[in-house]
Amino acid sequence: MSERLTPIVIVGARGRMGKALLREIIISDSMVLEAAVDRSGGPGLGQDAGRLAGLHELGIVVTDELLPRRSSVVVDFSLAQATEANIRKCTEAGVPLVLGTTGLSKATRELLRAAAKEVPIVSAANFSVGVTVLTKIAGLVAHALGEQWDAELLEIHHSHKRDAPSGTALRIAKAVAKATGRDLETAMRSDRAHAHARPRERGEIGISAIRGGDSVGEHTLMFLADGERLELTHRATDRAIFARGALRAAQWVVDQEPGLYTMADVLGLGGLG
């Protein structure tokens, strides 16, 4: 990681993630806020970014125009529909991008791959360092244990979450399936409560989802065998973990060649598993 101050441009500054990112940059001694951007006509435009984050005044107001300066990094946690325009602004300016916005269309993902030939880009649907490591070791452990160990995943999220199983649970399950030569589509069992009563089949990858309270997100991957059980658990207690992970990626990406990178690459785990 470099010693210099990395100038960061936040896109989606008024959002939940935007404010968490602003707070982390303001308290950091290795980054500096270059600009804060949100959508045209939004209520936070013209507001001081420091005040918006609930901290001291910074003298940088939220604008609706993304004009990244060379040597800065754009960190985008906004809206999928805004992503294509933001990617183009980054390639035009020759500026690296850290993209956390989810729900990207196929066309946007294609544009992202093309843009990564010109500038370095880190894109991840989950910037948590802990989840990235868990996903990576899930495959390594599954491969070492083999199919004789039954793989089951348990995930817990707050009561407002709409999708089940979580995208993160699916990614962990996919890593297990890939490492053991299984196809997740056919191996996954996420409807046991409704399924006709029958014993577990060898090779299934079970996923159980619990919803309630204010849980930011918990994932436990279990490997069960006769006489022993191995459990790998990640518990998120604060959404700031995604902001910290994304900013770690921002400080890493400034030194990279053009390319499309994952959070595993940022952590030096890209070649493993």
Q: Do residues 248 and 124 lie in contact, with contact meaning Cβ atoms separated by under 8 Å?
A: no
**Partners of 10 in the β-ladder:** 36, 75
- The answer to whether residue 68 forms part of the interface with ligand NAD (CB under 6 A) is no
**Least CB distance to ligand NAD at residue 83 (A):** 9
Distances (CA, A) of 121 to 98, 137, 254, 263: 6, 24, 9, 11
Name the DSSP class of 143.
H
| Side chain identity, residue 166 | S
Is residue 161 among the annotated active site residues?
yes
Stretch that binds ligand NAD, among 14-22, 141-149, 152-160, 224-232 (CB under 6 A): 14-22
DSSP output for 65-94: ---PPTT-EEEE-S-HHHHHHHHHHHHHHT
Name which of 126 and 208 has its Cβ closer to ligand NAD: 126
Among 8, 9, 18, 217, interactor with ligand NAD by CB under 6 A: 18
Is residue 157 among the annotated active site residues?
yes
**Least CB distance to ligand NAD at residue 137 (A):** 19
234-238 long-range CB contacts below 8 Å, 24 or more apart?
234/128, 234/130, 234/131, 234/134, 236/128, 236/130, 236/131
Site for ligand NAD, residues 36 to 55, rule: CB under 6 A = 37-39, 42
Would you give the binding string for ligand NAD spanning residues 77-116, x where CB under 6 A is met?
xxx--x-----------------xxxx-------------
Which member of 19, 89, 136, 157 is catalytic?
A: 157
Catalytic residues: 157, 161
Q: Residues interacting with ligand NAD, by CB under 6 A?
A: 11-12, 14-18, 37-39, 42, 77-79, 82, 100-103, 124-127, 242
